[in-house]
Amino acid sequence: MLRRKALRLTALAAAAICLTEAAAFADGLGSEQIGARLRAAYPGFITGIEGNEIVFRDGSRLPISDGKDRPFEAWLANPDIRDMFRFSYPRGAPANPPARNFDPGRARNDAFFKKIYGDCRTPGFASSLTTITWIPSKSGQRIQISRLNGAAEHLQAVSRELEALPAKFDVFLVPSAGGYMCRAIAGTEQRSAHGYGIAIDIATRRSHYWRWAKSGSGYAFRNEIPPEIVDIFEKHGFIWGGRWYHYDTMHFEYRPELLAAPK
């Protein structure tokens, strides 16, 4: 009897965990709200939304949702556009350990990002890139970044504001670990944000990464990146990998659709 009761309690606990994780996936955004965010973030490519489809300026379309309710691994491996909005990005929040599998912005619909940035594996992709000077007075490092959708301009604005920070922040900023690189995410077949030309890594010697921090059934959260640096990136439309349960604290990527309009 006691054994059956224990098994039943274990099953109920497991169900509660599943419900908690499912609730974390729930988003309250409908197609019109998603379309409005994407249109505001990428006006040079998107003209509007019709039903379940995003309409691009060249007349092509992509579905927002395929109607599938994906568990976490499938959500990450093959997200539709709606899946990109399943977690609300907590801009300005303290850098506390994220809840299990809370990865806002980590899922990217490849068809959508190829549409607005191109495919780095195809000839001619280099024409979508430009080069900025990263923190000129302290580094002068040249960083490749997409010239599309304002990514380069906003990264240059980030650089100017970071350059004005006191010298104690330099160790987190110089040198940068780089911007554009045509590669997949480590351990996956999914295109990295670096492969679209919209990401930059900083503070290699002060960074922490979930794959380095296995602890029992989870990952012990570690971070050294100061909030002053995170705030500046977020102000200009970049999300931070330190907001993820599967964290990557050196990583920032241009995702204005997940934030308020960049200043």
Pairwise pLDDT comparison (17 vs 235), residue with the higher score:
235
The domain segmentation of the chain, as residue ranges, is: 2-258
Angle value at C-alpha 77, between 61 and 223, nearest 5 degrees: 115
In whole angstroms, what is the distance from residue 144 CA to residue 194 CA?
A: 10
Give me the chain's average pLDDT, please.
87
**What percent of the chain lies above the pLDDT cut of 90?**
76
- For the entire predicted model, the pTM comes to 0.88
In whole angstroms, what is the distance from residue 119 CA to residue 80 CA?
A: 18
Per residue in 18-37, pLDDT (tens digit) is 333 433 444 568 888 999 99
Per residue in 166-224, pLDDT (tens digit) is 999 999 999 999 999 998 877 777 889 999 999 999 988 899 999 887 766 778 899 99
